[in-house]
Amino acid sequence: MKTKIPKITMNQMHFMKSIKQKEIVEANDVMVEIQPYMFPPKSPFSYSTRVLLDNIDVAGKRILEIGIGCGIISIVAAKQGAFVDGVDILPECVKFSIDNAVRNKVFDRIRILL
């Protein structure tokens, strides 16, 4: 199935790519590469991500992350022993999430879907 990304979202993505570069960020002992239009896990705009990262306890559970972004929450959950399914509508996010799962050696515990 081909995903149709809203024009306003595409315009915002193109704008952010024009003013910002990819970067590697660290949170909870996890290193992830993020796209220019992703909020870094420790940014002031990522309050819900910070709350989850500070309180996540999911060892042995099955997790679904909708809107996986860079994959940080899924990676932290997988490092704790959870099995994770992640999904995103943006192919770039799926690619970055897969790369980040490999980088953090938890790819065998995470299934990422578009």
The tens place of each residue's pLDDT in the chain, 114 residues long, gives 556 666 766 666 666 666 667 778 777 788 888 776 666 565 555 666 777 777 778 899 999 999 888 898 899 999 999 999 999 988 888 998 999 999 999 999 999 998
C-alpha 19/C-alpha 3 separation (Å) is: 25
pTM: predicted TM-score of the whole model, two decimal places: 0.73
CATH of 7-113, one of 3.40.50.150, 3.40.50.720, 3.90.1150.10, 3.40.640.10: 3.40.50.150
Looking at residue 109, its amino acid is R
Q: Report domain extents, the chain.
A: 7-113
**Closest residue by Cα to residue 56 from 25, 77, 86:** 77
